[in-house]
Structure 1
């Protein structure tokens, strides 16, 4: 995986597919809320409630669809689900009431969350060991680039601000996503995993070690929402920093992730090194929360400086935490049920995404400086817990049976 573009093989195909699909995601992230409020006529509250309810239903799909990927093979299922979600999203263009929006949002979200688990199972199947961490890191960098590009294209719809302009973005997302699925067909077919023995079907849900690590990872992952949810209001209402500082912090995060995500994954070779990296990430996140809190106590120049340094420290912690997460989610799972395990991991991340806004509203936005300090202490505590909990989870893993060699990336 030397250079900017990976060598010919599964990772190159996945990277091209990821780039196209994430450009589509960036489009919808930019225009969807404004389309539903300005064009369809829904209120912001209706959109929020609809997406929340859809998110709750989405929690139910990742594990079953991941299990289906184990039994049927992830490649074909991923292509089918990706195209189905893309085509069903066009139903949003027919929505003219809250209940129609809710039904479409639930169906699309349920399938989309399951697609994420199937995609992770496919990555696990075509990579091995630390290769998986490097592959996920590379794909995350590609994801950021794609979302940025999609947001730039979506800005055109915001400029014209017409029904046609917004609807073209939805159609373009569908075209990009279905096209991306064609690249996935270049990935070698992955043989289904036969069920062995007469043991329980839902082994991932019975694996207490894996569940514990997934819960810790979800608790740590609350930090992903800090820049999106807490920082804009904190900058505007509690500091002297100019409003453009919010954009500056987002640019710092996006650029650093795109440039250094792959490099940050080097040296993370096993669960223990991943746990130690996450412990360091927790301490860095604590430091960044303190810096954000301090920005409320000075003038504009001091505030901008503290916020910028805080964003830089946070993104370094984010790089370490995400790289550790990539390895732990794969290596602590049974290779015979990667889809099912990735469903559990993705579900825990979905829960984190859902609770993060509430946590941030209660702590930094609700309590101010003390709230930032409490949040930072939370990240440090969770990070410290990773090492003993991962050791315990790794010791509980059954010895894997011999597996055939995976295709080279």
Structure 2
């Protein structure tokens, strides 16, 4: 398991650097218009949505390690391509490949760790892997912040080359991870199970809505900062660094509260509350500047990360706890699809809510988070009650 965690750590350095800079890479480095940026990330999100479910089923058939290797190769090729591409159609195609691979990676990572771990160690192993993601993201965010401070095309393209090289190291480490027994190894043929699991599908939908908090931080907050505040450009790197440090320090502890379905559902409800509060605080930074805007954004980001901790802990607890032993790829792929939907619509949604509606947009987003957290708790309780009646 240590080899998996090391591979995850290395991969996340690239991820942290890229997602600290990606929005401004497209807008400042390449020079895309806001409309082109919106079209590109939306099209890429659709690609990610389309591929997550089928890849999960494929992973159960041929092996999760092999599927994750293929995804990593696609990510590596895309990062190197970003260092040289110039025209919008090519950029759009490469973005679709990269985002589709990125959206599929978390579910496949959970499936791989779950397949390698003993049943009673699955959730703790998965939460440790997630902590490795955050640690790697911290290092990457530092690099990304430096690139943002330079804010030139050459700096952004050098970053792409570096991210591609790091991904090559990740692939070499992943190749040393043991093969997880697949359905093909067992000579088992069956249709997808998850499509008949209605409680799981409902929980996936609510979790997907809560996953908007990722798009809010990655795309919404940078747009808000540049259009509604006079905060320094480097502020975004600091916010992501703060997020990653707190996630790395506390995700394992928070996940322990989600070892049961009831506990995971309560975490989702807390996530909805915390995320809604963060929206209100972000709204308070409207048209502020100097030390005041930085202070407000830091407080909002701190409350946001509390919500994200509860959201991630809830998602891990629900997805791992409700997955059959021989369907990790399929169930994690479907769970990832719910999150992919959120990340697909997040850039466009955040553009409308935060740049056009302003404070009202933040309040709408807060209400959405509250309803989603409460909805998760309601469905989980109904599921638990139904299971108890069956027993």
- Same fold, TM exceeding 0.5? yes
Q: Does 1:273 align with 2:259?
A: no
Compute the displacement of 1:237 (Å). 5.9
CA contact (8 A) 1:364 1:375 kept: no
Counterpart for residue 203 of structure 1: 193
DSSP-derived class of the 1:266 partner: helix
In the superposition, the TM-score normalised over structure 1's length comes to 0.79
Note closer, same or farther for the CA distance 1:16–1:197 as it changes in structure 2 (3 Å cut). closer
Counterpart for residue 345 of structure 1: 335
Q: What CA deviation, in whole Å up to 9, does each residue of 1:169-188 have, x standing for no partner? A: 33332332122123234433
Q: What CA deviation, in whole Å up to 9, does each residue of 1:316-352 have, x standing for no partner? A: 1211111111111122222222111111111111111
Structure 1 residue corresponding to 2:63, chosen from 66, 69, 73: 73
Unaligned runs of 5+ in 1: 1-9, 398-409
Compute the displacement of 1:137 (Å). 2.9
Compute the displacement of 1:190 (Å). 1.1
CA contact (8 A) 2:3 2:173 kept: yes
Q: Which structure 2 residues correspond to residues 132-211 of structure 1 after superposition, within 5 A? A: 132-154=122-144, 159=150, 161=152, 163=154, 166-193=156-183, 201-211=191-201
Structure 1 residue corresponding to 2:5, chosen from 10, 15, 18: 15
CA contact (8 A) 1:129 1:269 kept: no
Compute the displacement of 1:72 (Å). 1.3
Note closer, same or farther for the CA distance 1:198–1:322 as it changes in structure 2 (3 Å cut). closer
In the superposition, the TM-score normalised over structure 2's length comes to 0.82
Q: Does 1:104 align with 2:94?
A: yes
CA contact (8 A) 2:20 2:236 kept: no
Moved more, 61-70 or 51-60: 51-60
Compute the displacement of 1:115 (Å). 4.2
CA contact (8 A) 1:285 1:376 kept: yes
CA contact (8 A) 2:223 2:351 kept: no
Compute the displacement of 1:213 (Å). 0.4
Unaligned runs of 5+ in 2: none
Q: What CA deviation, in whole Å up to 9, does each residue of 1:104-143 have, x standing for no partner? A: 3334444444444332211221235563333333333322
Q: Which structure 2 residues correspond to residues 6-405 of structure 1 after superposition, within 5 A? A: 10=1, 12-29=2-19, 43=33, 45-128=35-118, 131-154=121-144, 159=150, 161=152, 163=154, 166-193=156-183, 201-232=191-222, 234=224, 249-295=239-285, 307-393=297-383
Question: Which has the larger Rg?
Answer: 1
- Structure 2 CA distance, aligned partners of 1:112 and 1:372? 27
Q: What CA deviation, in whole Å up to 9, does each residue of 1:47-101 have, x standing for no partner? A: 5423322321222111112111111121233224323431354344453432233
DSSP-derived class of the 1:100 partner: helix
DSSP-derived class of the 1:61 partner: helix
Q: What CA deviation, in whole Å up to 9, does each residue of 1:274-310 have, x standing for no partner? A: 0011112222223333333445599977766554443
Note closer, same or farther for the CA distance 1:312–1:148 as it changes in structure 2 (3 Å cut). closer
Counting matched residue pairs gives 386
- Structure 2 CA distance, aligned partners of 1:213 and 1:320? 15
CA contact (8 A) 2:14 2:166 kept: yes
Q: What CA deviation, in whole Å up to 9, does each residue of 1:12-71 have, x standing for no partner? A: 212211121122223434566666667766555445423322321222111112111111
CA contact (8 A) 1:66 1:342 kept: yes
- Structure 1 CA distance, aligned partners of 2:56 and 2:11? 20
Q: What CA deviation, in whole Å up to 9, does each residue of 1:255-285 have, x standing for no partner? A: 2222222222223211111001111222222
- Structure 1 CA distance, aligned partners of 2:284 and 2:156? 40
Q: What CA deviation, in whole Å up to 9, does each residue of 1:335-389 have, x standing for no partner? A: 2221111111111111111222343344454444444333323222221221221
CA contact (8 A) 2:227 2:355 kept: no
- Structure 1 CA distance, aligned partners of 2:293 and 2:21? 31
CA contact (8 A) 2:61 2:183 kept: yes
- Structure 2 CA distance, aligned partners of 1:174 and 1:50? 21
